[in-house]
Structure 1
Amino acid sequence: MTFRQLTLLCFAALLLSPCNSFGQETAEKRSGNMDELWGDRVTKLRAENAERGQLFDEGNYAMFIHWGLYSQLGNKVDEKTYYGIGEWIMNKRMADIPIARYKKLAGTFNPVKFDANEIARIAKDAGMKYIVITAKHHDGFAMYHSKACDFNIVDSTPWNKDPMKELAKACRDAGLGFGFYYSHNQDWTFPGGGGGPGVDEEGNRATFDDYFEKKCLPQVREITTEYGPIEIVWFDTPGKMPKHYVEKLVEVVHENQPHAMVSGRAGHGLGDYQTLGDMEVPRENIEGMWESVDTTNDSWAYAWYDQYWKSPREILKRLLACVGRGGTYMLNIGPRGDGTVPERAVKTLEMSGEWIRRYPQVVYAADASPWEHALPWGDVTRRGNTLYLCVFEWPMSGKLYLPNLKNEIESVELLNAPQSEPVTSTRQGNAVVLTLPPRAPEKLVSVVELKLVGEPDVDPTWAIDPSIETELLVEFADVNNAKKEEKRWMEKFGEWKGIVHAHDWKADSKASWTIDVLEAGEYNVDLTYAGEGRLVWKVAIEGGEAIQNQQNSSHNYQTFPIGWINFPEAGRYTMGVNCIEGEVETASLKAIHFTPAY
């Protein structure tokens, strides 16, 4: 029995207990103090009560912190701003700061405003269940009192404090888990480290083994023995690091911290779970234990210019997408050099955290959506036979479509809504249709609780929503005589973007989707693509109407209109897309969009 199944069984027992009065509570009263009612009864998520991996598996939401010597620079060196991720500022791809000069920065690093209790409060108010912070990043500077190397925050700075001691205690006091990020391969300042100098201070040749034995392995022993219980050791960028080194590090972590998890970026498949690419939120369900790592703006470490903050709505959208795909979301903050957290980051985390406190059951110990992907109006998480429909786009028609849901409905409730506005359900062909009130009860995301008779039984085939735009990504298409693969690029250095696209087109190439049309009628068709020059695209219903149009191209995946197409009746169709004229070989297709024409 998994942690999650055990938790659900215990929760069910609580509900059946004679002394339980949840059944007599009104919806309004239940929502009035959700933190008290749901807190520990949803799942035992306080760190001291958690089993190995439980905070990761059931908490589903965590705080990442990138804070180091680089933070005081904030991406500005010699009055020049370098745009990109701040923790790489020393590297030759950014400011290319010589080692000796970079080490002198430690003499001015004095984060007197660092407040471990405040950071723990921010994480807790945000709804996060543990914190992972940089013990040592690629620059080699240890943010704790390391005995293995004097290039650390206690021995090299005027502050002369170990913030990790304070933060570990603050997390324990707040009931949060605590863990360390450790760059095990790259070390740009220690002889023999990945990307570091090839000779020591005496001019002797240094090897990776020198770095590993003198610094890396001793430091991993330090962070796993001197800071109390640790939930995660988050290794990063293994590169071509030989397997036996990684095996030794994982062995040390598990020996010293039997309850700790090792991140998937340890390398060689030796982590305890999978870590996706930076800023990557998956579009379809992923099996097993995994996490997505993201950041509140564009840079992981503090960058003075970076004010592009994710809104509370965007944070919730990405969090629920990760939970809905079956994973965990770890969201980063980058404190300033003085130790304070940017106020706008705090505000957006607090606002999204207020929503989570009202709907903890939607996030914690929740499982993946049975649709296996987002729906046009939002996303879905699950606890047993109960689905939580997280509605981001409130339908103007008043109808919310649940395609290919085969179960009978036991009950349906719009949470935090007046009882005078009940939700009703009907069946329309293969879809369940919920009739909603005209206005959404929540500004950010409204939640419909749908209790099913039996385990969810859903056909995950994509369906065209009759009232909201439906985007079908190439990721879900069958592509013939062209290449379908992931494409990732940086907008700024280290700011990753990514799509799955169909490219290397030829005159007879095709992308096709199997779809269910819930209501017959006219639909406007758009395509999102990149390429060169004017391209002619053809969109066709197999055995039915075909349309085509010429539009210009873009380099950054703009959306262009193609025209209207008619589905004569509800049912299952195959849609095909071809690029038929122009510089066809340059075409890169991301998605097709359907919007009801009227």
Structure 2
Amino acid sequence: MKAFILGLLGVAIMAGIARAEEMDAMWGESTVKLRAENAERGELFDEGNYAMFIHWGLYSQLANQVDGKTYYGIGEWIMDPKMADIPAEEYKRLAGTFNPTDFDAKAIAQLAKDAGMKYIVITAKHHDGFAMHHSKACDFNIVDSTPWKTDPMKELSAACREAGLGFGFYYSHSQDWTFPGGRKGPTVDENGKPATFDDYFTKKCLPQVEELTTQYGPIELIWFDTPGGMPKERVQQLVDIVRKNQPKALVSGRAGHNLGDYQTLGDMEVPHHNVEGMWESVDTTNDSWAYAWYDQRWKTPKQILHRLVSCVGRGGTYMLNIGPTDTGAVPERAARSLRDAGEWIRRNPQVVYGTDASPWQHAMPWGDVTVRGDRIFLSVFDWPESGKLFLPGLKTEIASAHLLVNGKPVAINHESVGDWKIFKVPHVAPERLVSVIEIDLVGSPEVDPTFGIDPNNGTEILAEFATATGAKIVKHRWMEKFGEWVCVYPATRWEAGGKAVWEVDVLTPGDYDVRLTYSGEGRLVWGVDVVGGEHIQNQQNASHNYQEFPIGWLNFPAPGKYKVAVSCLEGNIESSRLKSIRLIPLEAYEETSRRVATLSR
């Protein structure tokens, strides 16, 4: 018997090795090792799905502190009247002490490569007008105005080519706060004569874009920003320069007037719905874009991976920013998180590179899904201690399923209950950061995207997925600090009888704890219904900043599809904004309560 068992184990191990070798062969020569010079136009963007953004300039020297006062928010806007309100001539004098001798282009390129990123985009000129390259169009540049006398763009472009990474520039094409005629800049020139936007555009903007697209080798993309007030014909001129000099380069959607090649979402915005077409989310490793001395709220490796996989799962690209210090060094904690996340990507490249959006069109309670052909990848961020992972709505037959452990496949069993697939998994997560289940299907994935209520921990469903009648789903965007954007899509503007309605798929019948996340003023009364079934309502205090409140229990008497409706019934209804509903199986709710009680003792 022992020999027989050992024989079976040997077969399983050999099968696993063969499967791993198949994976290595499949991914080893794809975009995982794709060098920038071999990529077609937009391929690193569309297939690589992950890039490094760098905000670095004179503002990094101030690090959000002026005359002993700290300004909280985005440091590259430090000149702005809403920040430190620094006059242009005073700001320009900072260049005389800017000496970033710790800048190491090869180390930054290696960091991006270790992180799993496929190209780097760096600020060549931000709104402050300081050119981080050797520009002949304006002497306010890093070579002519600083004691360093070095062009870091030359060094970084060369380092990216050596590392096989793509390279690109950020360029603020409309705003320039130190050059006469630039938007929000001086209104008169050095002779006291009135300056127009055309003066700035023809004397500085146009020639600098010409420099950037001709003097630094192949460019992956030009990331224009803040086009407000810029005439379409001027944007078109810039796009034409890029097309002429760098025919393989992309132009960011923030060029304006729909002249870019792809869409850039709002800063720090990771969408919850799938987004059609080519798009990117831009985010940063802490709360700041440029270096801020006080900002130590770094994203952990798990948070980075969660936001990356969420972007890829919605069909987009994730560009994550670092802010080097005034000396040019990358903050060590940011670098550490990037490398740790990159090590996971190295073991699981098929989850990130060259994949398509999730056919469910939204995240799962435990994580997210990416797709390549007939193969889907479940990235499990919240591991089920029950030993069962639930995947709702999968109609396509499963050929095989494997749990990836250190990149090696281990077969796991599953059962089907209707369109629900239930995978038997270990009680303890096999990966420290994110565990991956790889599923081979007998054909392209066909799914029912209805939200399944997860039997382990329940499911939160955002209001933006609801059908609203007598209420509106709106975009609510605000800054927690200057430049730190938060965006939600709540149901609001409630009318009498107004409802937000979701369809849900219940596998496990019984009682469910109902919780609503909302903001508003005073005490609000909310009603929740299983359409055609039970109704509950309750009064709770409102929160100014979207707090979750318990409402009560609802019963789903049998497995199947239900519609759940929420209404704002009484109180300061005009102020109420409903962000989400959460439905938690009572057994899971009781287990969570028991654990909390145990920990509190």
TM range (shorter): over 0.9
- TM-superposed deviation, 1:456: 0.6
Match of 1:521, as an amino acid?
G
Q: Counterpart of 2:281 in 1: which secondary structure?
A: strand
Map 1:276-295 onto structure 2 (within 5 A): 276-295=265-284
Map 1:189-228 onto structure 2 (within 5 A): 189-228=178-217
Map 1:239-278 onto structure 2 (within 5 A): 239-278=228-267
- CA change 1:139–1:342 in 2 (3 A) is same
Match of 2:551, as an amino acid?
I
Work out the CA distance in 2 between the residues paired with 1:453 and 1:341. Answer: 46
Give the corresponding residue for 2:430.
441
Map 1:65-214 onto structure 2 (within 5 A): 65-214=54-203
Match of 2:401, as an amino acid?
V
- CA change 1:24–1:466 in 2 (3 A) is closer
Match of 1:501, as an amino acid?
P
User: In the TM superposition, what whole-angstrom CA distance separates every residue of 1:327-370 from its partner, at most 9, and x where no partner exists?
Assistant: 00000000000000001100100110010000001101011011
Work out the CA distance in 2 between the residues paired with 1:314 and 1:474. Answer: 23
Contact 1:526 1:560 in 2 (8 A): yes
Contact 1:27 1:415 in 2 (8 A): no
Contact 1:86 1:303 in 2 (8 A): yes
Give the corresponding residue for 1:549.
538
Give the corresponding residue for 1:397.
386
Contact 1:324 1:381 in 2 (8 A): yes
- TM-superposed deviation, 1:102: 0.3
Give the corresponding residue for 1:320.
309
| TM-score relative to the length of structure 2 | 0.93
User: In the TM superposition, what whole-angstrom CA distance separates every residue of 1:167-190 from its partner, at most 9, and x where no partner exists?
Assistant: 000000000000000000000000
Give the corresponding residue for 1:567.
556
Give the corresponding residue for 2:595.
none
Alignment pair present for 1:354 and 2:347: no
Work out the CA distance in 2 between the residues paired with 1:405 and 1:276. Answer: 30
Contact 2:97 2:146 in 1 (8 A): yes
- TM-superposed deviation, 1:573: 0.8
Contact 1:403 1:431 in 2 (8 A): yes
- CA change 1:55–1:42 in 2 (3 A) is closer
Alignment pair present for 1:296 and 2:285: yes
Match of 2:226 among 237, 246, 256: 237
Structure 1 unmatched runs, 5+: 1-22
Map 1:431-580 onto structure 2 (within 5 A): 431-580=420-569
Give the corresponding residue for 1:383.
372
Structure 2 unmatched runs, 5+: 1-11, 588-601
Work out the CA distance in 2 between the residues paired with 1:384 and 1:161. Answer: 47
Contact 2:32 2:349 in 1 (8 A): no
Contact 2:478 2:487 in 1 (8 A): yes
- CA change 1:27–1:96 in 2 (3 A) is farther
Alignment pair present for 1:594 and 2:583: yes
Give the corresponding residue for 2:43.
54
Q: Counterpart of 1:323 in 2: which secondary structure?
A: helix
Match of 2:235, as an amino acid?
V
- TM-superposed deviation, 1:45: 2.1
- TM-superposed deviation, 1:469: 2.5
Match of 1:322, as an amino acid?
C
- TM-superposed deviation, 1:288: 0.7
Contact 2:31 2:47 in 1 (8 A): no
Work out the CA distance in 2 between the residues paired with 1:454 and 1:262. Answer: 36
Alignment pair present for 1:309 and 2:310: no
Work out the CA distance in 1 between the residues paired with 2:125 and 2:72. Answer: 22
Work out the CA distance in 1 between the residues paired with 2:484 and 2:17. Answer: 43
Moved more, 537-546 or 29-38: 29-38
Alignment pair present for 1:330 and 2:306: no
Work out the CA distance in 2 between the residues paired with 1:115 and 1:419. Answer: 36
Work out the CA distance in 1 between the residues paired with 2:423 and 2:211. Answer: 56
- CA change 1:143–1:35 in 2 (3 A) is farther
Contact 1:423 1:436 in 2 (8 A): yes
Match of 2:191, as an amino acid?
E
Work out the CA distance in 2 between the residues paired with 1:534 and 1:32. Answer: 60
Contact 2:403 2:409 in 1 (8 A): no
Work out the CA distance in 1 between the residues paired with 2:65 and 2:253. Answer: 32
- TM-superposed deviation, 1:222: 0.2
Work out the CA distance in 2 between the residues paired with 1:578 and 1:420. Answer: 47
Work out the CA distance in 2 between the residues paired with 1:561 and 1:297. Answer: 31
Contact 2:347 2:407 in 1 (8 A): no
Moved more, 142-151 or 461-470: 461-470
Contact 2:521 2:542 in 1 (8 A): yes
Work out the CA distance in 1 between the residues paired with 2:239 and 2:216. Answer: 18
User: In the TM superposition, what whole-angstrom CA distance separates every residue of 1:255-284 from its partner, at most 9, and x where no partner exists?
Assistant: 000000000000000001111010000001
Match of 2:109, as an amino acid?
A
- CA change 1:421–1:32 in 2 (3 A) is closer
- TM-superposed deviation, 1:505: 1.9
User: In the TM superposition, what whole-angstrom CA distance separates every residue of 1:462-496 from its partner, at most 9, and x where no partner exists?
Assistant: 11111123110001001111221111000000000
Work out the CA distance in 1 between the residues paired with 2:32 and 2:21. Answer: 20
Match of 1:334, as an amino acid?
G
Q: CA RMSD in A?
A: 1.8
